[in-house]
Amino acid sequence: MTQKKSSYVILAIIATTSLMLFSHNVASYAQTSSDNSAKSSIDAGISAIKSGDNEGAKKNLYEAEVALEGNPNSVGAEKHVEAALKALKDGDTKGVVFHAEEAKKGLP
């Protein structure tokens, strides 16, 4: 292999490695960002339900659910948010708070 070809191979390896590291960091940031967004929405939902604002709770819990969708590390949290929304629909405020708190515990 000539020196010129060796240089191209080394540059290709460096470029590939850089892209892999960059894409991993972007994915990690996006996941952390969505987890923080979900936590904020869950907290807002809990506050809303405790103050009697069912519509506000519903809106915030739906936002949390959207933020958690597609994140394999947050499946348990997403299930609890879904359970909280069902409890809200059923008029079970204690159930809403319980499942919302459990959802927060399930966040990475």
The pLDDT value recorded for residue 30 is 45
Q: Are 67 and 37 in contact (CB under 8 A)?
A: yes
pLDDT digits (tens, 9 = 90+) for 16-58: 766 565 554 444 444 445 567 899 999 999 999 999 999 999 9
Predicted TM-score of the model (pTM) = 0.69
Residue 39 gets the label, from left (phi > 0), alpha (psi -120 to 50) or beta, of alpha
Both tokens of 102, joined, read 């459990």
How many domains are contained in the chain?
Answer: 1
Both tokens of 74, joined, read 């947050």
Our measurement of the distance from residue 75's CA atom to the centroid of its chain's CA atoms, rounded to an integer in Å, reads: 9
Domain that holds residue 32: 3-105
- CATH of residue 86's domain is 1.20.120.660
